[in-house]
Structure 1
Amino acid sequence: MVPIIADDKRLAIAVKLADIKALQELLITIEQRLVTLSDDPDIRKRLGDMLADDQKNLTIIENTIIQYGVKGEPRDTVVEMTDKLNDLMQSSKLSLYDKFSQLELLKHQAAMAGILVHKAAQLVGADIDAAIAPLNTVNFENRAHQEQLKGILEVLGTRELTGKEADQGLWARVQDSLAALSGVFGSVISHGEGGADMKVTDIVRMDHQKVNMLFGQIQGTNDPAKKLEFFNQLYGDLSAHAEAEDQTWYADLKRFDDSIEKAEFAYKDQDELVALLEQVKTSGIDSAEFDSRLAQLQQKVTSHVNYEEAELFAKLRQHFSDEQLREMGKQFQMAKSRYQDIRQQQMTGRS
């Protein structure tokens, strides 16, 4: 039997993603506090825009973790560091300049963590690189925020040391830095992708694309360890996807007379798909039946995907507004996340 466990490298990336989420939550907390402390309208406006970006980016990070399909907990050292820094930022020990300086350092830490995950994903598997692609937006905006924070630090530092205002050309230089940064990152930024405003159809299509990659990776390697790694990811992704569809938008479609038959067919077809998935899992990658059963599963998945995207997506667009489809996307992601949490508990032997 194939043991359904996450590869060590994939678990390490999951832990790093959990670290990134913890850092992002601390960034938001600190920015909310600093907005109330600054009496400079320009700084307050820039910080407010930064806060709005970071709140949006937290949703991107959360969705990326769900798309990744393996969950981890932040490292104890990260939890300890965030707790200590949060306490320090609430105290009167630091000047306003010092607090913004700590924020800039935290932005740098978050940006480097995101870049590290991106580099690791390129080495571990194409499916991971695809799942975490929306982090490109977060990484870019963290770097852009650093440039703005450097400008804020120059203003606050000059005031604290001299009581005078900094060079009036400061913000023009900041804008030049942002433009240069945008030129470097422009080709890899995926604004909106993976964010809070994704329709359920977009998220489901992303899942389909990732699963297709995993089939290719399984078939493209002769290394038993890699084949097992890729199949374990495929098993987890397909299982979570099927469970979430059954609980959310399939049920939503059954509310309409002209969609009941199509939704019921999708339920039945998906049950057959999951049964095939379990057969492949049971056979084991070393068995003579593995490749043939995997091919049957891939054929079933392909036909199921084509039916969903051609027939069911049309019914979704017919019966639901864009706003409703975005809300259904949130519900779909939440259902996937709940399933992943349960599976993670089973994998680690927790009750």
Structure 2
Amino acid sequence: MVATLDDTKRNAIAVKLADMKLLQQLFIQNEELFLRECTDGEVADSIRKMLDDDRKNQGILDTVVIQYGIQKDADSTAQQMVQTIRQLMQGNELSFFEKVFQHELLKHQQVMNGITIHKAAQKVGADVMAAIGPLNTVNFENRAHQEQLKGILEILGVRELTGLDADQGIWARVQDAISAISGAVGSAVTQNSDKQDMNIQDVLRMDHNKVNILFTELLQSDDPQKIQEYFGQIYKDISAHAAAEEEVVYPRVRPFYGEANTQELYNEQARWGPMFEQLRAISPSAPEFKDRLRQIWDEIGDHVRQEESTMFAAIRNNMSSRETEELATQFKAAKSRIQERMGGTRTGATV
């Protein structure tokens, strides 16, 4: 059995990611409820745009968790908190202003969750940084939502306390604040200005990048235990990635990518399994281990270059943006099922 990198630190990050997914689901439920209760057209428009962002961010979080490769349940305290807030939102104990106020606090918590994960990833490994990269978009938009919610709270609060409308300058100040955030952190995050979901090329490229980092980390290490752990993670990630491609991607692209080209991709991936199995029988401290691994890496590198050049070009030329996004969703769902079937995504088992 080859150990993976599912150590204590990585499992802790996986739990925090699960906390973020749980909060994201609550955001969507809250905002759908707010739209049913809101009587102000301008406020409703702002909430509706926020809801669109949060639905997209739900998909981004799903991508990050699947890319990370370790699935955990949310912390029990977080689960209890979300259940309590959900009941409060659905009840009549809080005014609309108070509900939105609680929502703004949750947005702050989500921002801090994202920042904490990012800072922890810097300490844990380059492959973790690669996996969580899309969180930058989620963090940026939640920070912008905080500013929008502050503007909404000013309007609702003044109206609740006085029965009068607040000054008209509030929305201008909100937009100024959002612009300031964009100027301060926009260059450090990955923003998706057209609000589209990730397409299949984006998702596959993320997988390729993470495995490339793992190979690099392994080949630079002289610690047999670390080498064994990196190899286990590479084995796990490539196995799930390849199986999901063969289930979802290759059948979809075969009609326009060509029978010969598609079959070549199938055949290349079929060779990797036996090669990895042979490596598992060699001690990580043996000199030939890294030599054999470099041979696999070279083959995988050629395979990746073919996908990212000719296959990606064929996808761009033959599929609409919506179709590529739908294919990404199907790939992620297949990969998640395969990870669970391989075992250990929720328990940190070895492969």
TM-score by length of 2: 0.91
**Cα distance in 2 for residues equivalent to 1:347 and 1:77:** 18
Query: What is the Cα deviation at residue 326 of structure 1?
Result: 2.7
- 1:76 corresponds in structure 2 to 76
Figure out how many residues of one structure are paired with residues of the other and give that number. 347
Q: Alpha carbon RMSD of aligned pairs, Å?
A: 2.2
- 1:265 corresponds in structure 2 to 264
- 2:293 corresponds in structure 1 to 294
- 2:166 corresponds in structure 1 to 166
**Cα distance in 2 for residues equivalent to 1:289 and 1:162:** 78
Query: What is the Cα deviation at residue 203 of structure 1?
Result: 2.0
CA contact (8 A) 1:196 1:330 kept: no
- 1:153 corresponds in structure 2 to 153
1:193-342 aligned within 5 A: 197-255=197-255, 259-342=258-341
CA contact (8 A) 1:199 1:326 kept: yes
Matching residue's letter, 1:188 = A
**Greater displacement, 224-233 / 139-148:** 224-233
2:72 aligned counterpart, secondary structure:
coil
CA contact (8 A) 1:19 1:75 kept: yes
CA contact (8 A) 2:4 2:230 kept: no
**Cα distance in 2 for residues equivalent to 1:216 and 1:339:** 25
- 1:142 correspondence with 2:142: yes
Structure 1 residues 226 and 345: alpha-carbon distance in aligned structure 2, compared to 1, 3 A threshold: closer
**Greater displacement, 225-234 / 47-56:** 225-234
**Cα distance in 2 for residues equivalent to 1:109 and 1:97:** 19
Structure 1 residues 69 and 321: alpha-carbon distance in aligned structure 2, compared to 1, 3 A threshold: same
1:248 aligned counterpart, secondary structure:
helix
Identity %: 46
1:33-72 aligned within 5 A: 33-72=33-72
Q: What are the ranges of 5 or more consecutive residues in structure 1 without an aligned counterpart?
A: none
TM-score by length of 1: 0.91
Matching residue's letter, 1:331 = Q
Matching residue's letter, 1:108 = H
**Greater displacement, 55-64 / 200-209:** 200-209
Query: Higher relative contact order by CA 8 Å / sep ≥ 6: 1 or 2?
Result: 2
Matching residue's letter, 1:302 = G
Q: What are the ranges of 5 or more consecutive residues in structure 2 without an aligned counterpart?
A: none
Matching residue's letter, 2:148 = Q
